[in-house]
Chains A and B, each alone.
Chain A
Amino acid sequence: MLTMNKISKSFITDDVATHALRDIQLHVNEGDFVSVTGPSGSGKTTFLNIAGLLETSTSGEYLLDGEDIAKLNDSGRSRMRNQKIGFIFQSFNLIPDLNLFDNVDVPLRYRGLNTAERRKRIEHHLDQVGLASRMKHLPSQLSGGQQQRVAIARALATSPRFLLADEPTGNLDSQMAQSVMSLLEDINKAGTTILMVTHDPSLAARATRQIYIKDGHVSELTNKNSNLHVVGEA
């Protein structure tokens, strides 16, 4: 599903190079639920951004669903994001001007689907997260947990094979966090591969695989399933 080979990322600001990631080796299989933990500033977010094609790596090879990302231009990467990846963010990132229907509609528009198909998908996915009745509401009229469920519906609307979640429960109270987490587990069981960054060990433990990032290096913590191994280069 996802293979990273010697991926590195460094930023150069004011002539000082900062290495955010160093020679990451990682393979994720279809159907995995991978949690990513690590201290602040360890490179978790950079890792997720590269995985989600929001940033490009400085060096190394990244294959997503068999395609070499380095060979894609901006619109190729946009197409990949649109068709294969779904995003869930800590601060939900719903577009405040758009109502729930239109928010879920955003990725479908870029997908170029016809009106009937879009409507069907939007209604289906909002229904799935229990918010079909509030389709015409603006995000500001919802609670945090509800907003995050809309964000999940939006991420799933394009039927991605791969879901990236960046601290999806970070802005939620524990009860809501639990409900969002079980939603993610259901999604994973239905076949979607998930990569989730979190700082909450108890949530991380619920994933099928756990990886740990520190100082730009990746290591696999336990290996519940015999699925596959990650080699963090020390």
Chain B
Amino acid sequence: MFSYYLKLAYLSCKRTWGMTLLMVCAIGLGIGASMTTITVNYLMSANPIPQKSEQLFFVQMDSWEPNNPYSDDGDAPEQVTYRDGTYLWQAQKAKRQSIQTGMSAVIEPADKEVLPFMVQGRANSADFFPMFDVPFLYGSGWDHQADLKKERVIVINAELNERLFGGKDSTGQTVRMAGEDYKVTGVIDRWNPKPKFYDISTGAFNAVEEVFVPFSLITEQKFSRSGNTNCWKPSESGFQAFLDSECIWLQLWVELPTEQDKQDYLSFMNAYAKEQHQYGRFARTDNNKLRDVMQWLENQQVVSDDASMMMAMSLMFLLVCLLNTVGLLLAKFLGKASEIGVRQALGASRNDLFIQHLIESGCIGLAGGLLGLVLAILGLEAIKVMYGDWIRDLAQLDLSLVAMAIGLAIVSALLAGLYPTWRACQVQPSVQLKSQ
């Protein structure tokens, strides 16, 4: 019977092809627009490290100005000072802790024919790699001792390894950077978390760094720092004065496997703040925060306003398209009233008619969904062209999104078809058979 209904749906659509085309286009455009924006929103709000996002916490210490809270809503600052950051890191109270900041330096390739070039990097402590499940192609990160001893070691990414060592296992080799030799301990495999949760201070969707060096080397002043630096209290000139200042410029992450660990760590942070309060720092001693990955990304609103606004708009757009479809389907089905009457006389029950018309709606929905899918792919391409490189990985349809698009289309069309179908089944056969 199903194939019979399919045939009937085909014949019916063929007869009113203009209306059918309009409905398919309306659903297609609505689905296309919605899927484009849903995709971007979905990927923007994705969990970049689902296996342990609930165990990784971003540390916020409120060392800010006594009279002016850091943010309007009173939340603690988004970074920590060197004093507080290194104290918490050295205390090693969490299972793992990573203190970090952005950096950049010039690499001079061994081959003198190749021009020196600039790389974006990260100065971080040893726990960074195991904590964030960083995948290694060769070797590994460094150990805590290397941090303490300020060893010249480096982890590079696969692209840089390709460029410097032709893609071979380069562990043990040296890289000349900022005028010194660094020993390669590991090469990172392709790793591109979106959002780049471990540091969103200069953009949540930037590319992962090319090099990683021990955090303690930052005090050697060999390479330049990158990222945001915010200060509220004047300080003396010079680098040591900067390290001792109230300027915030470091990110600190801790890994705390259990709720108890988290509570303990928070108490530890608050105790430290109280102690500092006695020296005239930390005007607000209990405004320290531990947020896990998703809470942190939520708090920082990594899903851009534009993206959520567009999604709201496109869902309303879909609604208009569906209203359009309801109207056209209603017109179409009521236009078939006499056929419906005949079918009833010939033995079709209301159930039969309901299924027949629902299948017809479903077919239109499916066609609309497929069109919508094509439009969504085009829409995402357009978004990549218009918004530039950073959005590339956020405009990618995956299988679940494709399934969602088709599902959304069919559900939409069935919903849109429900009322017209119900109306069609209410046709009084006796009235229709006598008409004309």
Direct contact of A and B (CB under 8 A): yes
Chain A 13-66 interface residues, beta-carbon cutoff 8 Å to B: 45-46, 49, 52, 54-55
Contact B347 A54 (CB under 8 A): no
Contact A82 B347 (CB under 8 A): yes
Q: Which chain A residue lies CB-closest to B434?
A: A45
Contact B436 A110 (CB under 8 A): no
Q: How far is the CA of A110 from the CA of B351 in the complex (A)?
A: 11
Of A74, A83, A98, which contacts B349 at CB under 8 A?
A: A74
Chain A residues whose CB sits within 8 angstroms of the CB of B434 once the complex forms: 45, 90, 166
Give the Cβ gap from A152 to chain B, nearest Cβ, in Å: 13
Chain B residues whose CB sits within 8 angstroms of the CB of A74 once the complex forms: 349-351
Interface majority SS (helix, strand, loop, mixed), chain B: helix
The 9 closest A-B pairs by CB, nearest first: A82-B347, A78-B349, A75-B349, A107-B346, A49-B430, A110-B347, A54-B430, A97-B11, A87-B345
A95-B339, A97-B12, A109-B1 known; A89-B347 Cβ under 8 A: no
Q: Does B60 sit within 8 A of A, measured CB to CB?
A: no
Contact with A along B1-16 (1 / 0, CB 8 A): 1001000000110110
Q: Does A79 sit within 8 A of B, measured CB to CB?
A: yes
Q: How far is the CA of A21 from the CA of B342 in the complex (A)?
A: 24
Q: What total of chain A residues lie within 8 Å of the partner, measured CB to CB?
A: 33
A-B contact pairs, 17 of them (CB 8 A): A45-B434, A54-B429, A78-B347, A78-B349, A78-B352, A81-B345, A82-B347, A93-B341, A93-B342, A97-B12, A106-B342, A106-B343, A107-B346, A109-B1, A110-B349, A154-B346, A158-B347
A54-B344, A87-B345, A109-B4 known; A93-B433 Cβ under 8 A: yes
Q: How far is the CA of A78 from the CA of B341 in the complex (A)?
A: 12
Give the Cβ gap from A13 to chain B, nearest Cβ, in Å: 13
Q: Does A137 sit within 8 A of B, measured CB to CB?
A: no
Q: Which of A91, A97, A158 has the most CB of B within 10 A?
A: A97
Q: Does B161 sit within 8 A of A, measured CB to CB?
A: no
Chain B residues whose CB sits within 8 angstroms of the CB of A49 once the complex forms: 430
Of A87, A98, A106, which contacts B11 at CB under 8 A?
A: A98
Q: How far is the CA of A166 from the CA of B338 in the complex (A)?
A: 16
Q: Does B378 sit within 8 A of A, measured CB to CB?
A: no
